[in-house]
Every structure is written in structure tokens, then in C-alpha cells.
Homo-oligomer: A and B are copies of this chain.
Amino acid sequence: MWDEIPTFVEMKKDKQKEHILIIGAGLCGSLLGLRMVQRGYKVTLMEKRPDLREIHQDAGRSINLAFSDRGMKGIKLVGLEEEVKKLCIPMTGRMIHDKEGNTFLSPYSGRDNEYINSISRTDLNIMLLNAADQYDDLQVYFNEKCKDVDLKNATATFENYLTKKQQTITANVVLGADGAGSVVRKSMYLSKEFLFSFSQDYLEHGYKELTFPPAQDNEYRTEKNALHIWPRGRDMIIALPNLDGSFTVTLFIDYKNAPDSFESLNSPETITEYFNRQFPDAVPMMPELVKDFEENPVGPLGTIKCHPWSAFGKTCLLGDAAHSIVPFYGQGMNASFEDVVVFDETLEKYGDQGWEAVFTAFEKNRKPDTDAIADLAVDNFHEMKEHTAHPMFQEKRKLETAFEKEFPKEYSSKYSLVTFNDNIGYREAMIKGRAQNKAILNLLDDGKLPDTLSLKAKLKIVQQATNAIIHDDEVGRL
């Protein structure tokens, strides 16, 4: 796809360059800026934080991500496929740790080429910023806090954290890629000129980052190529590998009003007792457990949705600014990168009709999918902390893995549809994936998939039941 797009030099000849102001140079804004400059626009990227190539930030906040196919589509679009691979650690499945310290690996797919990757948010962002530096027509400014957005006139005012100087920039359009706390979205929310639907939904749980440091000689303390989960019903810890031999560990637990909570874990004794009781095999891997726990902040887990994403044909939201999701499907960054791909396709298709047409078509096409991944991500929280430990859930996963292994072209689980089938949207993946789950769980519950049946026969029964569920839901919608 990359090869088919006219190069920057060719496009420059054709038209007066339009100026795009992108607010936010995180993962989404950087990728978007790169793609826009490649398409021949003049791009200004304004970032409120310092340049993370100069100043280390965000210690104690979850910093590794699960990079997968939808994210790769975005990276390919800007030609950085080979670069990104150097940052990736493949994770082939979930390694489940029970209370007795037993482990088993639940593969993400029955197909060998389907796995996700642990990647550092910082390393990925640096890669994108370095790539951006190659373009004269893409300028990135750091420490620039957006104070105000004039939605109608594609104008924004910034204040520099260091110099305190203010500046106002007017562009042809403003793209808000300024994340979950988006200032651009907030100015839409406050606008009196149109109705703005908006939701922020917090889980009762918060998260805290911990760590398994590398063992001697930078060895990994547990299986490197897996996403580790200690599911305990209401709470859990997870661990993802880093390139240096460490794991980033995250605890998810209620804020309060639960037997164990961030409120109740308020002393070295209660912290130690809780971890020894719930995660005994993880404790020896966390020599600095109490110190990390006491020093690192608690983060909230929220979902944000809104509508419309654009205003006056002049301003549009992308990425977390338009849709923030909880991290449990490992799809937040992937969804944002896929936004850039869809936005790019929309620009290709509707660009000659003007920005308003592009923005409207982009949201219309994209929002059903980002709404779906938001809901799927909340589902997956319950799946990870609770269902992964349930025998019937495990039986379902085994059956699905066998289907994928034996009939790789005929079956994909919900996880696989969401994560590895970037040819279909999240919404289609959700509808089909949920129906499959419901079909298998009910067939198992009713004893309708006995071992006497061949795997092929089981697949046929599951497919028929899945189609019946989808059909009945459609008819029942009247």
C-alpha cells in the first residue's frame, strides 16, 4: 500500500500545501503527522510533554503495550515495519498462574503465525518521532500546552511550560490527537453550538505498576514469550516482558469496598500479606515489591466515547481523544493506529469533497468499530481476572485452539477475529465472536459436543449454532 501513494515531492507540485495542526505527539499524533506529511501536507505537531528522547517520563505508569496486526497496518502505512520489529517481543499466549503456582499456556491462536507483541510505549514513540524528523514539512514542538481551541476557525493557543510564552496557530484544520484528557474534545463538550454526546465510565478497579527486574545476566525470571496472568476472580496481576529481561507487572484491584483494595492495602504488612496469599509464586520475583507499591501511583481505568468527533469541518478528533478504552484487550494503541489507516483511506476517497465530508465519513465508518472495541475491552477484563480460571471457559478455549489448528481457514475465535483479522472491523468481530462464544458455551453446557464426535463434526455444529444466534438476534431486533 505504501508504494502506491504518490511521494511528497510529487504531490507538492500539484497543489498549494494545506497546513494541518495536530495537537498531541504521542503514538497516534506522531503516526498521523508522519502520514499527513507523506501525503504532501504541511504539518505542525504540538506536544505538551517534554521530548521523551531527552527526559525520561512516566515512571510507574503502565508503559508496555501489546502490539498486533491492526497496529502493524498503521506502521506499514508509513514504512516503518522493519524498524518496529526490532522493538517487539512475541507473546504466543496467556500463561495462567493459579494459586498453587501451577502454570499452563493458553495460546492466543491455533495458528502459529498469530501472536501479539510486547513493546515499550516510549521506544515506539521515539521511533515515530525520529522518523518524523526526516521531513522538513513536519515540525514537532514540545512543552506546548494547549490552552484554547477555536473549533470554527481551526485555531489553537499554546503556552510553553518552560518559557511561559503563548502562541496562537491557525491552520486549515486542527486534528486532536491529544489523548484521553483531550483539550480539543473538552472544547467540543463545552460548545453551546451543537449537541455533544459524551461518556466517561470508570471501572471500580484501579491499576498500579510493579516490576519483575531481570535475573542475573539479564535472564527473564519467568517464560519470556507469554503474557502472564494471575487471575483471582475480583483482582489480578499481569506481566509483560521487556527487552532488558525485566517484566512490567500490573496489579488490578478495587479502589475500595472490597475484601482487598487499594484502600485496605495501606501498610507494608497488608501489602505483603495480600501478595503472599494471592500471588505466592510471583512474590520471589518482586524484590522491591513494597517499595514499588508505596511509590507508584494508582491509575484509573476508564472508557470514553463521544459524538460527533468533528466540528464545523475544521476540527476532528482521532485516537484516544475520540475513544479511550480500558487496556484489557491490548487494543488501545492498535485502534488508534487503525484510526490513522481509516482516516488515510477516507482522505483518499473523499478528499476532493473537502474536510467536512472527510471528517463525517471517517466517523460514520469508524465509530461503530471503536464503540465495539471499547465494550470488548471491558468484557475482557472480566474474562482475564475471572473466566480464564473457569473450567468451562478453558474447555472452550481448547476447542477453539483445536479448530484453528486443524481448520485454520474455517475458524477464528473472538480473540483472533479482534486481534489478528484486521481485514474485518471490530464491530463485525464482536458480533461474530460473541455469538461463537455463546454457541460453544451453551453446546458444552447442554452436552452437545461429546468426545465421540469428530472435530470436524463439532466445528459444523458450532458454526450452525453461531449462525442461528446471529439470525435470531436480527429477527428479535424488531
Query: Which residues of A approach B to under 8 Å, CB–CB?
Result: 195-202, 255, 300, 302, 305, 387, 390, 392-393, 434, 437-439, 441-442, 445, 472-473, 475-476, 478
Contact = CB atoms under 8 A, between A and B. Distances in A.
Contacts of A438: 472-473, 475-476
Contacts of A255: 195
Given A438-B472, A476-B437, A476-B438, A195 B302 contact: yes
B198 A200 contact: yes
Contacts of A439: 476
Contact of A201 (B197, B200, B475, B476): B197
Contact of A478 (B302, B390, B475): B390
Copies of this chain, complex-wide, total 2
Contacts of A387: 478
In this complex, the member of A302, A393, A434, A478 whose beta carbon has the largest number of chain B beta carbons within 10 angstroms is A478
A478 B441 contact: yes
8 smallest CB-CB distances across A and B, nearest first, come from A438-B476, A199-B199, A195-B202, A197-B201, A445-B475, A197-B202, A442-B475, A442-B472
Contacts of A478: 387, 390, 392-393, 437, 441
A439 B472 CA distance: 9
Contacts of A393: 478
A199 B202 CA distance: 11
Contacts of A302: 195, 197
A476 B442 contact: yes
Contacts of A392: 478
Contacts of A473: 438
